[in-house]
Amino acid sequence: MGGMTGSDAARRAFEDAITPGDTETASAALLTTAGANLGDPLDYGAYLIGQLTGSWADVNGVATYTSNDQAHPLPDFNLDADRGYAYQCWDYLRHASSVPPAPRDALDMLSPDQWGCAPQLITILSEIQGRTAEAMAADIRDWYGYPEPCTVPQRYDPRDNPHHRSRYDPLKRLAFGYRPRMGQDPAPGQPPIPPLGCDGIDLQVSEAEMRDAGMSTTGRRPVP
């Protein structure tokens, strides 16, 4: 990559981002300036080593190791950039748990959370092992259950939630937020994890956004 050393000022700007919007703002301000980036893999790796190493000190008679980033913990960057440059590790915004009031039907008794999902993992091999489908389904819910995202992604299986049949909608924004960084409390007013609950989220993609992305306003790929 031509030995891009990166910039400590740019690194700090990306590290300080609390939301994906903060990262987009930093990118818009920095990436038009030569060198205002995290650096290439070698240089950024050396920077990380320097930040994550530290020193031993005597703290009240106890030998204590303190990393160089202790006062300003590094975020976990999502370095494959599947959302955008310098994005941090993220998760979907998800529906809050919702249990219907009594009386409940058989499905409510089996799966009381209306937004609880479980992947489709039961196969003929599961049945050969002598487990009933009901027993396996209960184990899968316990082991791999998850709250349904506010906007389900592509390849989401509607069967994961027996109460709802949500489907991917290309005309809706993907609702997501950054995961908390290790060892650091969230900023004032910032939830510790992407919040549960989808009320009040504007998910409709505008025609201008679709045009900017080269997308048809119908959500379908243009016919060549």
Using one digit for the tens of pLDDT, what is the confidence trace for 116-161?
999 988 766 566 566 777 788 888 888 889 999 999 998 999 999 9
Using one digit for the tens of pLDDT, what is the confidence trace for 207-223?
887 777 777 766 666 55
What does pLDDT average to over the chain?
A: 83
Average pLDDT over every residue of 99-112: 79
User: Which tokens go with 129?
Assistant: 């092992």
Average pLDDT over every residue of 50-54: 89
Cis? peptide before 73, omega within 30° of 0? no
- The answer to whether 93 touches 146, Cβ cutoff 8 Å, is no
Percent of the chain with pLDDT over 90: 31
Domain ranges of the chain: 1-74
Supply the pLDDT for residue 224: 55
Characterize the bridge pairing of strands 176-178 and 90-92. Answer: antiparallel
Given a cut of 90, whether residue 37 has pLDDT beyond it is: yes
Backbone angles phi, psi at 200, to 5 degrees: 80, 5
Supply the pLDDT for residue 161: 93
Q: Is the dihedral of CA 76, 80, 82, 85 positive or negative?
A: positive
Query: What Cα–Cα distance (Å) separates residue 91 from each residue in 141, 153, 196?
Result: 20, 12, 11
Q: Report the distance separating Cα 207 and Cα 92, nearest Å.
A: 23
